């Protein structure tokens, strides 16, 4: 008989746990998410870095320090298996004054303690060879070559697709309202759509992990949101080759300057602690964005004119009591595992967190996990017209003429790409058609015009493939419908 596992939260942590647990034949895994699609919570808006592991103090934050470097190593494997967009371009922590080297030496020593390979200090000459357009005030840096960047939502999508292919059942648009406990043991999860039986409940609920924990009487930690704001520029604006950090101060790690994997210069984030009740506050502020702008200029003085900005946004990080990740089987309630407070470097640590949870199930819950004989670690990336050679385009169009119709001109996204994205949405259980679900799979609507040209065509394709009226298609789930109804009834005289 299979042990039933319910994972609450389909962000990077929850999806990674689902993938790892899908390896075992004696587990039945359910991935529960209140949003219409995967990766739309904390995982959606961040700097998208695979950190090097030098930043987390192993004495203050032992779990973060241990899992960050292990996660970095695992990502090198996962991006290949799952064909996740990525770049391993390294990071430079830049010194602009002599006293900065004291802090860089401390980071170097900490990184070595944490097991980070190949870190070293570089002088001014080598620094400008690594990053020619850096501020002229730079005098040296700490170089960490194992740092990389990925697309966070494409990563969650890829991991979930692979988990589903290996037998995981998703429950999207399913909000958890309670957890049933009998005689000190988990029995299942109560949701707005009914009861899901479970012998083990894994709480990977991001900003709401404290609320989920309280459902079983565990209240020793609280999650408060920490907001970070960002600017993104058009893709014709040159950005750095490396990920650039200033030397950190006791107050701040500083503003990051990077070229994200789609080729856009991105600056941010700042850090603003919000009260626990503001877990949906994703508003950008004039003051916060100015702080980011001024901070970025210290490393990258040639910031383009603001007319080149295509988007500003904010993300929230779940800051836990004590600052370290909370990953443990709770003794008071057998079968309840917290994966809470997964703030930075949570994206980096996610694969390692997943293996840690599998170890907890065996070690602390005493369940021997039996590997499947035919577990499939691979997943193919969605087709992207903009990545095809002319020969590949000709072949694709011969097989399927929809690849010859360009829908998004900014990013060269074809109708074929969008139809494949919709097919994949359905495969992982996306029930409500949304433009954002297509955006995160294809890059449509993320270019210079931000969807002004392509959104109506995407809406038509979603309506046709989901069998709904165009005005029932949403931007990002129920409550964000594109239209108000069939206004042409007035012309037809049907009203």
Structure tokens at 468: 């709904």
Cβ proximity of 253 and 278 under 8 Å: no
Beta-carbon contacts of residue 444 (< 8 Å; ≥ 6 apart):
407, 408, 411, 413, 417, 418, 438, 451, 454, 458
CB 292 within 8 A of CB 253: no
Q: Closest Cα partner for 24 from 9, 39, 38, 5? A: 5
**C-beta of residue 209 within 8 angstroms of C-beta of residue 321:** no
- CA 61 from chain center: how many Å? 22
128 exposed, middle or buried (CB, 10 Å; 0-12, 13-18, 19+)?
middle
Residue 51 is a catalytic residue: yes
The catalytic position among 51, 86, 171, 224 is 51
Cα–Cα distance for residue pair 348/354, rounded to 1 Å: 12
Nearest to 192 by CA among 32, 360, 51, 330: 32
Structure tokens at 290: 């100015």
DSSP string, 234-300: -TTS---SSEEEEPP-SS----EEEE-TTS-EEEE---EE--TT-TT-----HHHHHHHHHHHHTT-
Residue 419: which of 391, 392, 400 has the closest Cα?
400
Length of the chain: 495
Tell me the catalytic residues.
51
């Amino acid at each position: 008989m299979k042990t039933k596992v319910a994972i609450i939260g389909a962000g990077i942590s929850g999806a990674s746990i689902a993938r790892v647990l899908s390896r075992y034949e004696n587990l039945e895994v359910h991935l529960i998410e209140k949003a219409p699609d995967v990766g739309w919570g904390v995982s959606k808006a961040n700097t998208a870095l695979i950190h090097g592991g030098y930043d987390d103090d192993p004495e203050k934050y032992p779990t973060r320090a241990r899992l960050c470097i292990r996660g970095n190593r695992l990502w090198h494997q996962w991006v290949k298996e799952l064909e996740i967009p990525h770049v391993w371009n390294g990071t430079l922590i830049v010194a602009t004054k002599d006293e900065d080297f004291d802090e860089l030496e401390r980071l170097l020593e900490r990184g070595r303690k944490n097991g980070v390979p190949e870190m070293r200090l570089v002088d001014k000459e080598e620094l400008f060879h690594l990053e020619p357009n850096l501020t002229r005030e730079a005098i040296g840096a700490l170089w960490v070559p194992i740092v990389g960047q990925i697309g966070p939502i494409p990563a969650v999508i890829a991991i979930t697709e692979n988990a589903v292919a290996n037998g995981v059942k998703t429950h999207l648009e399913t909000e958890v309202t309670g957890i049933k406990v009998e005689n000190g043991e988990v029995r299942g999860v109560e949701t707005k759509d009914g009861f899901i039986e479970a012998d083990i409940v894994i709480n990977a609920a991001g900003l709401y992990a404290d609320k989920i924990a309280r459902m079983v009487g565990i209240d020793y930690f609280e999650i408060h949101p920490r907001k970070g704001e960002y600017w993104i520029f058009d893709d014709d604006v040159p950005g750095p080759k490396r990920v650039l950090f200033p030397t950190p101060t006791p107050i701040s790690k500083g503003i990051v300057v990077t070229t994200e994997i789609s080729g856009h210069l991105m600056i941010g984030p700042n850090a603003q602690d919000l009260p626990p009740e503001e877990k949906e506050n994703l508003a950008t502020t004039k003051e916060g964005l100015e702080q980011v702008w001024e901070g970025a200029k210290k490393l990258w003085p040639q910031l383009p004119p603001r007319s080149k900005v295509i988007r500003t946004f904010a993300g929230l990080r779940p800051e836990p009591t004590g600052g370290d990740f909370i990953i443990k089987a709770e003794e008071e309630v057998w079968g309840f595992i917290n994966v809470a407070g997964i703030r930075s470097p949570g994206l980096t640590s996610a694969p390692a967190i997943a293996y840690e949870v599998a170890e907890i199930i065996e070690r602390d819950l005493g369940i021997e996990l039996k590997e499947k004989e035919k577990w499939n670690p691979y997943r193919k990336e969605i087709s992207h017209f903009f990545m095809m050679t002319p020969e590949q385009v000709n072949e694709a169009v011969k097989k399927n003429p929809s690849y010859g119709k360009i829908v998004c001109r900014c990013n060269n996204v074809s109708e074929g790409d969008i139809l494949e994205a919709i097919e994949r949405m359905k495969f992982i259980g996306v029930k409500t058609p949304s433009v954002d679900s297509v955006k995160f799979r294809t890059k449509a609507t993320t270019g210079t015009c931000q969807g002004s040209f392509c959104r109506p065509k995407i809406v038509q394709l979603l309506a046709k493939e989901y069998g709904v009226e165009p005005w029932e298609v949403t931007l990002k789930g129920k409550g964000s419908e594109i239209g108000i109804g069939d206004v042409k009834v007035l012309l037809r005289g049907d009203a």
